[in-house]
Amino acid sequence: MELGKLQKISITREQIREVYDQGPEAVETLVFSLVDTINKLIDKVDAQDVRIKNLEDQIKKNSRNSSKPVLTI
């Protein structure tokens, strides 16, 4: 699963207070957006962990311990 490049963002205390002053719906929207971003990052890390594990397993294989040909990167 390929995710698009995530962009760094920042938010100031003043911006947070502006959202807070807009009311509960604005705060909910901000929190849901942050949760969505966190979940995308977790998915990306999980996918990279799997890829790293597969590459590490592939590196460990050679003609003596595998009946399959060794792929080179």
**Pair 19, 27: CB distance under 8 Å:** yes
Q: Is residue 6 in a domain?
A: no
Q: Is residue 4 in a domain?
A: no
Q: Is residue 52 in a domain?
A: yes
pLDDT at 1: 46
Q: Is residue 65 in a domain?
A: no
- 10 Å Cβ neighbour count for 58? 14
Number of domains in the chain: 1
Q: Is residue 50 in a domain?
A: yes
Q: Is residue 19 in a domain?
A: yes
Which tens digit of pLDDT belongs to each residue from 26-53?
999 999 999 999 999 999 999 999 999 9
Burial class (CB in 10 A: 0-12, 13-18, 19+), 9: exposed
Q: Is residue 51 in a domain?
A: yes
Structural domain range at position 53: 13-60
Return the closest-CA partner of residue 41 out of 9, 73, 15: 9
**Pair 19, 30: CB distance under 8 Å:** yes
pLDDT at 71: 63
Q: CB-based contacts of 37: which residues, under 8 Å, 6+ apart?
A: 6
Which has the minimum average pLDDT: 1-5, 19-23, 53-57? Answer: 1-5
Q: Is residue 70 in a domain?
A: no
